[in-house]
Amino acid sequence: MNTLATTQPPAAGEPLMPLHRLLRAYMNESRSQFIQAVRAPAFAFPFLLLPVPLYLFFGVVMASASKEIAANPALMNYTFSAWCSMAVMGPAIFGIGISLAMERDANLLKLKRALPLPSGSYLIAKVLMSLAFAAISVVLVTIAALVAGKLTLSAGGLIAMDAVLILGAIPFSAIGLFIGAYASASAAPAYANLIYLPGLWLSGMFFPLPKVMQPWSVIWPAFHLNMTALAAGGMKVGVSPLLTGAVLVSISVLFGGLAIRRLARTG
């Protein structure tokens, strides 16, 4: 063959990817996920900015009026943790679940599988996007809480709590991946809501549940995130943080694994 090598560099046998290019591929993928999320105002606005006014109104103004909190000021830490948990869950479940389902329907995943993407970069990028969103919204709520929230946490406790909350995006991202991997684009929002809304209310984060429902709060991942975060902040909770943390890790492994398995097979 004599037509080779006008634009081709000399054939080097294996088309190896230099490490810096490999890292760049991961970075580029994550950056484009983030750009897309930010460019969708219907997504970015409610998930990045809305938690702050919601927290200030319900978690600070309304809560301050309650007698229980007057008796026990540490309860302000609980409302803070609850609103942060909510801020973390949204972008992970909705952002990943719906976008992934839509991209599957649009054959984009099929194309990505045919292209030489570094393994997992696409899914990792989505998880990093939701971590970034979680970090931004948790930091924003934290600032609001420091200004107005009357937190009784120590500085170390607050940092530990924020760290747990931000990392808490991972199990919910795994759930998002799971929804996106299995549901069609039209069904994904419904499934996402089915996890998100009951998870918020039935996990007992925002208000005490009736006694019969209390034991069932443990089935919602939100409960485990909230409990782990509170424990990390040094608050007293009824469950061992090792156990709730282990539940979060298991959720990540189980749902993430199922999603990867499904995507590896069908794209």
Question: How many amino acids of this chain bind other proteins (CB under 8 A)?
Answer: 46
Q: How far is CA 106 from CA 113, 122, 255, in A?
A: 13, 15, 23
CB 81 within 8 A of CB 229: yes
Q: Which of 119, 210, 211, 236 binds other proteins (CB under 8 A)?
A: 119
Decide whether 66 or 107 has the Cβ nearer to other proteins: 107
Q: How far is the CB of 126 from other proteins (least distance, A)?
A: 12
CB 103 within 8 A of CB 186: no
Q: How far is the CB of 56 from other proteins (least distance, A)?
A: 30
Q: Which of 54, 117, 160, 202 binds other proteins (CB under 8 A)?
A: 117
* Residue 4 touches other proteins, criterion: CB under 8 A: yes
* Residue 42 touches other proteins, criterion: CB under 8 A: no
Kindly list the residues in this chain that would bind other proteins in the complex (CB under 8 A).
1, 3-9, 14-18, 21, 24-25, 27-29, 32, 35-36, 39-40, 103, 106-108, 110-111, 113-119, 215-216, 218-219, 238-239, 243, 254, 267
